[in-house]
Structures are given as C-alpha cells and as structure tokens.
Amino acid sequence: MSKQIRILIADDSAITRGLFEKAFVKNNFEIAGMVSNGRKAVDFCREVKVDAVISDYDMPEMNGVEAANILIHEMGIPVVIYSDDAKIKSDVLAAGASFEKKPSLQSFDETSIKFFTNKIRTIVEKSMQKGGFAAHHKDSDSDALDDIILPGEDFKVLCIGASTGGPTAVQEVLNDLGENFPLPVLYTQHIDVGADAKMVRWFNQVCPNIPMSIPKDGEIAQPGHAYMAPAEKHLIIDYIKNDLPVLKLSDEPPERFLRPAVNKLFRSAAKHYKKACLALLLTGMGQDGAEGCKEIINAGGYTICEAESTCTVFGMPAAAIELGAASRVLPRGNIGRAVLQMLK
C-alpha cells in the first residue's frame, strides 16, 4: 500500500468538501483538515503540518491562487488547484501550483474518484520526493559554483523548457540574468490556448529586465529578448542569420500529445547551433525535453537541469538526468548565476 499523504482540503462548498473527504480517505490519504477559503488554508498550515493542499480556485476572502502564492513560496507546501474553468490555468501555473480539471460531482463514481485521486497523488508525491536522480548526480545546492566546468565554446542562444510550475521558475531565472543579457532566449512552456498572451503580459510585468513576446513566423530573435512559444504551435529554429536564430512556428503534429513541445525547440537548437547552444530544463511533469537535451549534449552543447529540491514536479529534469543528458544539475536559485558565469 502506498504511503499516506496528509492533505488539507480547501473549498467553500461543504458538499464538495464532504465528497472529497470520502474519496481521498478511501484512496489512502490522511485528511489533516478542511477549510472554506484560502485565508483559512494559510492560517491552518501555519499551525498544522500537512504534505499538500488540495484547493478550489474560486473561494471568498482569498482564492486558491492567492493562497498558493503564500503556501508555496513562504511555507514550501505543494498546492493542487482544481477548477472547471481552464482559463485560470495560467494563473495557477504562474503561482507555482498544479492545475487539475474539477471532476463532475454529478458523475463522481468509483472510476472517476480513483482517477482524480491518483492524479493528485502523482503530483504531490513528485513534489515531496527528496534525493532521487539528483542525489546521484553532481548537484550544487550551495552557493558555490566554482566547480562548474566551462565549455570552450561561445554560446549564441539560450533555450528554456518547462511545464508544471514553469512560469515561476522561469521568472526567477530571468530575473537573475540581470540587465543587457547578451543572448536571445527561446522558451517553450506547456500552455493552453488563450493563456499564452496573458502569461507573456505577466512576464513583462515581473521580468522587465528581459522583455518577452510571442514571436511571429520568420522573426529574427534578438539578444536580451525572450520569445515564448504560442499555444498549439511548436517553436523551432528554422535557420541562422548573422548568428541569430530565425524562428518558425510549426503546425507539425503534437509530440507525445504536446504542442508546443520542448523537444522540438531543443532539437532544432542542437541542429543549428551545436556547441553554441545552452539549454535549461526546468520543473515539469512528464519527459518532454529529455531527448532534446540529449541531442544538445551529443552536438557538443551544454544543458542545465533544475534540481529536485526546487522543482514543483521533478518529472522532466529527472528524465533528462536519467538519460545522461544533464551537463549540470542545479537548484533554481543558482541557475541564473551559473549562466552568467558561463558567458563571461
């Protein structure tokens, strides 16, 4: 039997709280408590130890995202927010939480209960894991970066891939890159239709040092600017002009059900930039980006994977590390400084 996970349920509906309590208990969760809004969730977690918070989005006094910002960033507690409104997913991811579609309570049968609680368990367990692949890989959790082996090639492009928890991770890394960053930044984030433009606006508010935009097909990427793949389009490097990547928005089929896919961006960077490619694979569920990291390594480029200690979900970096496709594994707070050090 899998380990019991101790959770807090936050929902303003007493009926939903009751249904979820029975469902989670039946599937080997321990219910630490149940509250009716985000403010009460925060107050509860200051007094009682929980492994994770499972929360509705729309609640009075403090909604799920507002609470998640405190629970995740101040207390280090994983948060899964459920809603039947997919439009709020970008806000959820930006807060560092995980998003799940709220199951229909009218058809909340044994199968759907098991499916929902198993998905929650997978997310929470990956957030809680310690050690794992990163523990067996060279990983600097300290501030010392002196032992990084610097490649002998000048980098020409920085590629970033992320999924669950990615916006917050990318925000921190971009902020740490400071002003006048010398490379174009190409960024693929798993994102839903309609959320991409909103997320770019958010990035421009929180990362004014590196402006971000959704590129146009055929646009030449400029140094010191970030370009995020739009929803439902792969972002790839078509060719190079004067050392700068010419971008293509591709309608090629999804890869492993993902479009945009990190692998598509990373493979194109490996093909065109070879040793001059620097890539970051940050927090995210699944395996996307691992094969792309491998191709960058094989081409002579350099990859940095986020350490498990700071990942919301360790899936994507873990897959790359297991594949031998991580040149370096670093906690999020060290990644930006490492990049700058490598560009000196």
Which residues are catalytically annotated? 163, 190, 288
CB burial of residue 241 (10 Å; 0-12, 13-18, 19+): exposed
Count CB neighbours of 36 within 10 A: 17
Indicate the length of the chain as a whole number.
Answer: 344
The helix/strand/coil state of 65 is helix
What lies within 8 Å, CB to CB, of 142 at 6+ separation is none
DSSP assignment string, 110-179 = HHHHHHHHHHHHHHHHHHH--SHHHHTS-B--SS--TT----SS---EEEEEE-TTHHHHHHHHHHHT-S
Give the separation between CA 110 and CA 250, rounded to whole angstroms: 41
Q: What is the DSSP letter of 220?
A: B
Q: What is the dihedral of CA 334, 337, 338, 339, to 10 degrees?
A: 130
Strand partners, 329: 139, 305
- Residues 116, 23 contacting (CB under 8 angstroms): yes
Q: Do the strands 277-281 and 302-306 form a parallel or antiparallel pair, or are they unpaired?
A: parallel
CA distances from 111 to 7, 19, 102, 105, 123 (A): 21, 14, 14, 12, 19
Q: What is the DSSP letter of 216?
A: P
